[in-house]
Structure 1
Amino acid sequence: MLGDNLYLVIMLAGVGILALVVNFVLTTREQDSEVRRERLSWLKTQAEHTLNALSVLKESGCRQDIVDKLNQHAMALIEEISLLAPDSELMTQVSDLKETSDRARADKSRFNSDRAVKRAQIYINFAEKLIIQMAKAGKMTGQLARTYQQELYWLNVSLVADAHHHQAKRLLEMGDKHTALSHLKHAKAVLVRASAPQRQKQPKLDELQASIDQLQPRRNLGAGALAESLDDYLNDQP
């Protein structure tokens, strides 16, 4: 009788331990699966944004070394996706997006609408933030990151100014001089306010000013009252 009870206790203890083991395994798998899902979700967002940013940078004529650096980051993201979900729909989507990004070429005519410019600005800003994150992660020096930030900032400014200039040319062809002049002045204002070296801004400013002067010639106000007073003063001297 005592032996039977002991046997029953051992059996119950074994069942309990087995249940704990099974529960631990299932819980661990669920946790691993959740971590994997969260990681894939993050990778999906980062890969899509990075690849879209690469397309925009290539189309806007960005410096090749910046493009190369971001492309390395995109490849690392894709490689991790291939390890976690090699045959998934996500892998297919990201691969297609990578092919689209690889085919992108410099073409500023793609940024001639307000919607296209705003989209481009979003991804250029994303690229700028990504550069900062990469520098913090030790993937580039702080000095190089600051240089890249300045380049991306100027690219953003140029994109907006060039878009307004293009719209002005298109409106002139349609005979709408008033609205064209408004776009030219807006483009000039964007450049004037930009925190960039004057030597970098000047060529675009000169081109815009020439176009503005054609539509709105500067008034010739003469020498002015101060110059006339000086002339009178000099003429009265012995």
Structure 2
Amino acid sequence: MLGDNLYLVIMIAGVGILALVVNYVVTSREQESEARKERLGWLKTQAEHTLNALSVLKESGCRQDIIDKLNQHAMALIEEISLLAPDSELMTQISELKETSDRTKVDKSRFNSDRAVKRAQIYINFAEKLIVQMAKAGKMTGQLARTYQQELYWLNVSLVADAHQHQANRLSEMGDKHTALTHLKHAKAVLVRATAPQRQKQPKLDEIQASIERIQPKRNFGSGALAESLDDYLND
């Protein structure tokens, strides 16, 4: 009788242990699946933003070394996606986006509308933040990150100024010189306010000022009465 009871206790304990093991395995798999899902969601967002940023930077004529550095980051993201979900729809979508980014060439004419400029600014700002994150992760030096940030900042400023210039040229050709002049003054203001070295800003400022003066030539008031009085005085 005692033996039967002991056997029953052992059997119940065994069943309990087996249930715990099964529960642990199931829970672990669920947690692993959830973690994988969350990671893929993060990778999807980061890869899409990085590849879109790369396309914008290529179109705007950004420095090649900055593009190369961000492309390395994009490749690392894509590689992780391929390990976690090699045959997924996500992998197909990201691969297609990567091909589009790889084919992108310099084309500044794409930034001639307000919507296109705002979209470009969003991705340039994303690239700036990504550069900072990469530096913190030890993927580049702090000095290099600061240099890249300055380059991206100037690219952002130039993009806005160039868009205003393009609008001004188009409107001037259409005969709307007043609105064209407004766009040129906006472009000039953007450059004047920019926290960039004067030597970097001056060529664009000179170009814009020349355009302003073509539309609105400086008034020549002549020597004036005071100057004439002085001339008479000196000639006496």
- Assess same fold via TM > 0.5: yes
* Whole-angstrom distance in 2 between the partners of 1:148 and 1:104: 21
Aligned pairs for 1:30-109 (under 5 A) are 30-109=30-109
TM-score, normalization: structure 1?
Answer: 0.94
Q: Which position in structure 2 is the counterpart of 1:203?
A: 203
Please report the RMSD computed on the Cα atoms of aligned residues, expressed in angstroms: 2.0
CA positional deviation for 1:219 = 1.9
- SS of the equivalent of 2:195 reads coil
Show CA shifts across 1:34-75 (max 9, x none). Answer: 111111111011000000000000000000000000000000
Paired position in structure 2 for 1:26: 26
Amino acid at match of 1:11: M
Q: Does 1:134 align with 2:134?
A: yes
Question: Which amino acid is 2:211 matched to?
Answer: S
Offset of residue 226 of structure 1? 9.2
Spell out, residue by residue over 1:135-184, the C-alpha distance to the aligned partner (whole angstroms, 9 max, x if none).
Answer: 11111011111100000000000000000000111111211111111111
Q: Give the C-alpha shift of residue 234 in structure 1.
A: 8.0
Q: Deviations over 1:95-128 (max 9, x none)?
A: 0000000000000000010000000000000000
Distance 1:113 1:23, change over 3 A: same
- Distance in 2 (CA, whole Å) between partners of 1:70 and 1:233 is 71
Pair 1:87–1:224, CA change in 2 (3 A): farther
In structure 2, do the counterparts of structure 1 residues 225 and 51 end up closer, same or farther at CA, with 3 Å as the change threshold? farther
Corresponding letter in the other structure for 1:153 = Y
**How far does residue 220 in structure 1 lie from its aligned partner after superposition?**
2.4
Alpha carbons of 1:229 and 1:78: their partners in 2 closer, same or farther (altered >3 Å)? farther
Report sequence identity in percent: 89
> Helix, strand or coil: the match of 2:86?
coil
Q: Which residue of 2 aligns with 1:193?
A: 193
Q: 1:27 to 1:208 in 2, by over 3 A?
A: same
The AA in structure 1 aligned to 2:134 is M
Which residue of the partner structure matches residue 16 of structure 2? 16
Q: CA distance change for structure 1 residues 229 and 58 in 2, over 3 Å: closer, same or farther?
A: farther
Q: Look up the match of 2:111.
A: 111
Distance in structure 1 (CA, Å) of the matches to 2:148 and 2:77: 21
Q: Is there any run of 5+ residues in structure 2 with no aligned partner, and where?
A: none
- SS of the counterpart of 2:93? helix
Aligned letter for 2:17? I
Larger CA deviation: 85-94 vs 220-229: 220-229
Alpha carbons of structure 1 residues 136 and 235: separation in structure 2 relative to 1, 3 Å: farther
Q: 1:19 to 1:226 in 2, by over 3 A?
A: farther
- Residues 58, 227 of structure 1: alpha-carbon distance in 2 compared, 3 angstrom cutoff: farther
Mapped partners of 2:172, 2:112: distance in 1: 15
> Alpha-carbon deviation of 1:93?
0.6
Give the Cα–Cα distance (whole angstroms) in 1 for the partners of residues 176 and 95 of structure 2.
45
Give the AA of the match of 1:148.
Y
